[in-house]
Amino acid sequence: MAQIIDGKALAAEIRANIKTEAAALPRKPGLAVILAGEDPASQLYVKNKVKDCAECGFFSRRIDLPVDVSEEELLGILNKLNADSRIDGVLVQLPLPEHMEEKRIIEAISPEKDVDAFHPLNVGRMVRGDSPVWPCTPAGIMEMLKAYRIAVDGKICVMVGRSNIVGKPMGLRLLRDHGTVVYCHRHTPDLAVLTRQADILVVAAGCKGLIHGSMVKEGAVVIDVAMNRDPETGKFSGDVVFDEVEPKVSYITPVPGGVGPMTRAMLMKNTLTLAKLHMGLACEH
Ligand code: ADP
């Protein structure tokens, strides 16, 4: 029987600590969130981000733009936010409308306000191992491992998925913390051979039911990042077949209530970190 990693409870604890820390700063940390278009899921995410800012005592600015906003207009807004001293973090909600070049927009955010750590300069810092902030999902997973005293040093870590937002930075972070990292993806010939080696298995493929009980090692730590929404019931489930895997492993994250709430909390933590850096206060990386 595994210990279930309670991301929801941990995220609430982290938010409370962030609030206390923010209240002691000379000014409020500030986050700007930009949404172009009216995608309902994106609208909900943005609403929650603004709500989390209020809960943590942060200053926030929400900027809603029409779906046909020009790239030049958005770049102009980003320039202003880059120069705004109340704003520590700038987040552009993805996906962007199709006519926009995502790379160009991400690169227009000042690397020092790049709260998601998507800017290539910060990606380079991640490769080097010293980025001040890491993308929210990998950052949240590291907080979970820390809270449950799960060491990475010396462990075989298998990362299923290699997206720029989750898989790649997650693997880099595990590597930085002295894990031995294997990346698996769509072109991996025999996934099970590799997942069975994992002491720590992180799954972010967006493929419901991908990881069966036979694919994990006894006593492994299993982190399920996916949020697969059933179109009929609207319920969310992960990539891991929980009922098969849970009896075999030592720790497992549930979906929902695992990685999701932690990802959300880490946006606040990253904003706080950038705010402290902008105020000249020391931060641990
Ligand atoms: P996210 O942003 O949540 O990481 P993406 O859809 O961008 O999700 O990326 C999914 C990743 O999962 C890709 O790297 C892809 O290669 C990997 N993947 C998808 N299906 C499988 C599979 N069946 N086996 C192994 N890897 C997979």
Mean pLDDT taken over the chain? 97
Residue 285: pLDDT over 70: no
At which of 110, 128, 152 does a domain end? 110
Residue-wise pLDDT tens digits, 137-195: 999 999 999 999 999 999 999 999 999 999 999 999 999 999 999 999 999 999 999 99
Question: Would the CB of 206 count as within 6 Å of ligand 1?
Answer: yes
Predicted pLDDT of residue 1: 87
Question: Would the CB of 164 count as within 6 Å of ligand 1?
Answer: no
Predicted pLDDT of residue 133: 98
User: Whole-structure pTM over 0.85, yes or no?
Assistant: yes
Q: Whose CA is nearest to atom 26 of ligand 1?
A: 185
Q: Whose CA is nearest to atom 13 of ligand 1?
A: 161
Residue 284: pLDDT over 80: no
Q: How far is the CA of 205 from the centre of ligand 1 (A)?
A: 3
On whether both 88 and 160 belong to a single domain, the answer is no
Predicted pLDDT of residue 282: 79
On whether both 140 and 257 belong to a single domain, the answer is yes
Q: How far is the CA of 203 from the centre of ligand 1 (A)?
A: 9
Predicted pLDDT of residue 283: 74
**145 and 178 Cβ atoms separated by less than 8 Å:** no
Residue 242: pLDDT over 80: yes
Residue-wise pLDDT tens digits, 95-105: 999 999 999 99
Residue 30: pLDDT over 70: yes
Q: Whose CA is nearest to atom 23 of ligand 1?
A: 186
On whether both 172 and 209 belong to a single domain, the answer is yes
On whether both 155 and 98 belong to a single domain, the answer is no
On whether both 64 and 102 belong to a single domain, the answer is yes
Length of the chain: 285
Q: Whose CA is nearest to atom 10 of ligand 1?
A: 205
User: How sure is the predictor about 37, in pLDDT bands with cuts at 50, 70 and 90?
Assistant: very high
Residue 35: pLDDT over 70: yes
Query: What is the atom index within ligand 1 of the atom nearest the CA of 188?
Result: 25
Question: Would the CB of 227 count as within 6 Å of ligand 1?
Answer: no
On whether both 93 and 175 belong to a single domain, the answer is no
User: Would 121 be classed as within a structural domain?
Assistant: no
CATH number at residue 36: 3.40.50.10860
On whether both 89 and 206 belong to a single domain, the answer is no
Predicted pLDDT of residue 281: 95
Q: How far is the CA of 260 from the centre of ligand 1 (A)?
A: 17
Q: By residue range, what is the domain housing residue 213?
A: 136-261
User: Would 126 be classed as within a structural domain?
Assistant: no
On whether both 83 and 173 belong to a single domain, the answer is no
User: Would 6 be classed as within a structural domain?
Assistant: no
Kind plus residue range of the DSSP H or E element containing 156: strand 156-160
On whether both 140 and 221 belong to a single domain, the answer is yes
Number of domains in the chain: 2
Cα–chain-centroid distance for residue 107? 19
Residue-wise pLDDT tens digits, 107-144: 999 999 999 999 999 999 999 999 999 999 999 999 99
Q: Whose CA is nearest to atom 7 of ligand 1?
A: 163
User: Would 115 be classed as within a structural domain?
Assistant: no
Question: Would the CB of 207 count as within 6 Å of ligand 1?
Answer: yes
Q: How far is the CA of 46 from the centre of ligand 1 (A)?
A: 24
On whether both 242 and 169 belong to a single domain, the answer is yes
On whether both 63 and 150 belong to a single domain, the answer is no
User: Would 95 be classed as within a structural domain?
Assistant: yes
User: Would 281 be classed as within a structural domain?
Assistant: no
**144 and 5 Cβ atoms separated by less than 8 Å:** yes
Residue closest to 143 by CA, chosen among 278, 250, 281, 264: 264
Query: What is the atom index within ligand 1 of the atom nearest the CA of 165?
Result: 2
Q: How many CB atoms lie within 10 A of CB 65?
A: 16
- The number of C-alpha atoms within 13 Å of 62 and in the hemisphere containing its C-beta is 15
